[in-house]
Chains A and B, each alone.
Chain A
Amino acid sequence: MRSKVLFSRIALFIGALLIPTLGFAYDPDTHGGGNDSTHTEEAHAAPAAEHEGGFDPGHMIMEHVSDAHDWHIAGHVHIPLPVIVKTDKGIEVFSSSHFINHETHAAQSYTGGNYTYKIVEGKVVVWDNLAQAENETATATLIDFSITKNVASMFVVAFALCFVFLSIAKAYKRAPGSAPRGMQSFFEPIIMFVRDDLAKPSIGPKYEKFMPYLLTGFFFIWFSNMLGLIPVIPGGANLTGSISVAVVLATFTFIITTINGNGHYWRHIFAMPGVPVWVLIILTPIEILGVFLRPFVLMIRLFANITAGHIIALAFFGLIFIFSKNGENTGTGVGVGIASWLFTTFMFFLELLVAFIQAYVFTLLSAIYFGSAVEEHHHIAEDFDGKPNVEHAH
């Protein structure tokens, strides 16, 4: 029994070690530049023109951390994703594979029913083939609803969440009160951790109402952070490191806090009891600002943490191509490659931790904000920026 546990741990360890290697294999985009300019350069003809002949790490990194209209696998192999655009002439749906020429792999425009479209700097714009320029008046009316890489990745996370939690819920219904089995035994301690260590101490007796949101938020962030660490399909998208996703998550927390705020909560914002009027003139604007600042910081923290993780891994890979001067210096490239492989392996272990900690911190802070919204008696000391002091909350 013991050796089985040990074996599975070693297998996990080796698996984790392999993750950065996969990333190395997956990153053919980093070969961009030099003589064999790949689609990275071509897909973005305009900005790439000035970098022709040299490897531009900033461009490569931004390419990888931002959203895309196709899912890159290796080399010239992409999974095209549907493009859904709404312009003033109506909605159009087509595959993003139309944007790439299949023989030369160069970026090209696609003429749909209403307009001609092209991807410029990662965004779909209305293209004027005669003028060879963007039709800016038509682009202004364009709304992009495409299933991009991030959206597709979000579907994967949603499917995984539904699969895991519906089957766990079914297992609890089928055999109530019995010992957990299989997947249940893995997730039960984590669910209990969210309930007993996050929700209960921060929210208090009314925690049950917020459990669905906290659990969903926790597992959504955790799953998508982990999925972002896997360099190959179905991972590789920078989902939680996309500011739009972070904005939506923080907005949910903001809305739930605002809706559930009781009289006590609002009184503490607009007229802190026991404070002289002249202090209130200064304090109330700060408190009102704090209401909006909290979700804002929540958003920035998630976005920046995850994006920073991706940027660090990509920067280490970028070093290989900087030091080897685009393949001229093979020996240096191999040497730096080994060093950056080791560094990236180390960073991935850190990122595994960060993936969990960010889910934990987001959920904990949300729970604390909900707690401050529903609490009845004043027993939580508040520090200067209006965040309840957790030490007292425990």
Chain B
Amino acid sequence: MSNILLEAASTGHGIAALGAGVAALGAGVGIGRIGGSALEAIARQPEAAGDIRANMILTAALVEGAAFFAMVIGLLVTFIV
């Protein structure tokens, strides 16, 4: 494991891949929490499902935006550096 990490870290590409992985991790946790809370809220108040869903998608998109910043930078490192 540490060998793989060391090998990956020796090139810019490896670090970019690690960065993309960490960003996906963060976004996954974020979107998972949003989805979980939204389901809970819909279960508690099914009549508000429409509003909750709209806000859920919007918030997920905002979280995703942050993750995509990381992804774009990772791509730039991979293809340009």
Q: Which residues of A contact B (CB under 8 A)?
A: 58, 62, 197, 297, 300-301, 303-305, 308, 357-358, 360-361, 364-365, 387, 390-391, 394
Contact = CB atoms under 8 A, between A and B. Distances in A.
Q: B50, B58, B79: which has the most chain A beta carbons within 10 Å?
A: B58
A357 B61 contact: yes
Interface of B: 50-51, 54-55, 57-58, 61-62, 64-65, 68-69, 71-72, 78-79
A391 B55 CA distance: 7
Q: Say whether chain B's binding surface is mostly helix, strand, loop, or mixed.
A: helix
Nearest to A59: B79
Q: Say whether chain A's binding surface is mostly helix, strand, loop, or mixed.
A: helix
Nearest to A387: B62
Contacts of B64: 301, 305
A58 B68 contact: no
B72 A300 contact: yes
Contacts of B57: 357, 360-361
A394 B61 CA distance: 18
A96 B2 CA distance: 50
Given A62-B79, A391-B55, A301 B61 contact: yes
A361 B61 contact: yes
A361 B58 contact: yes
Q: A58, A301, A357, A390: which has the most chain B beta carbons within 10 Å?
A: A301
Rank and list the top 6 A-B pairs by shortest CB-CB distance, nearest first. Answer: A304-B68, A361-B61, A301-B65, A297-B65, A304-B72, A390-B55
A390 B68 contact: no
Contact of A304 (B50, B58, B71, B78): B71
Contact of B58 (A58, A300, A305, A364): A364
